[in-house]
Amino acid sequence: MAFTIDTVGGHGVVRAEGELDVGTAAQLREAVGAAQDAHPGLVVDLSAVTFMDSVTLGVLIGAYNRARETGGGLAVVCTDERVRRVFRITGLDKVFALFDTVEAAVAAL
């Protein structure tokens, strides 16, 4: 699992690929935290993620709460239907703004 942090349109972008689970949650939390330290607006790009568990959702909820507390924003790029299903099943598709591209997510922030 690799995470990269970039800047697009003045917003932080954390890109993840592969499987996100309990074994990678700490790395994701660290990457998201670093990006939020540098940028109030954050896009988490899950377009290359093939699996995501509930621990990962916990990391995203923590990032969402931090964004709300600090006046920032959070958007999620999610194109894989299996990953989107996790958001739908948990009802978090109504909490997180889900987008098909980083550009669309950045524009919404």
60-109 residue pLDDT tens: 999 999 999 999 999 999 999 999 999 999 999 999 999 999 999 999 99
Give the span between the Cα atoms of 97 and 88, in whole angstroms.
Answer: 12
Residue-number span of the structural domain to which 33 is assigned: 2-108
pTM of the model: 0.94
For residue 1, pLDDT beyond 80: no
- CA-nearest of 55, 45, 48, 41 to 86 is 55
Per-residue pLDDT at 2: 79
* Domain CATH code at residue 60: 3.30.750.24
List pLDDT tens digits, range 16-69: 999 999 999 999 999 999 999 999 999 999 999 999 999 999 999 999 999 999
Give the span between the Cα atoms of 109 and 25, in whole angstroms.
Answer: 24
Number of domains into which the chain is organized: 1
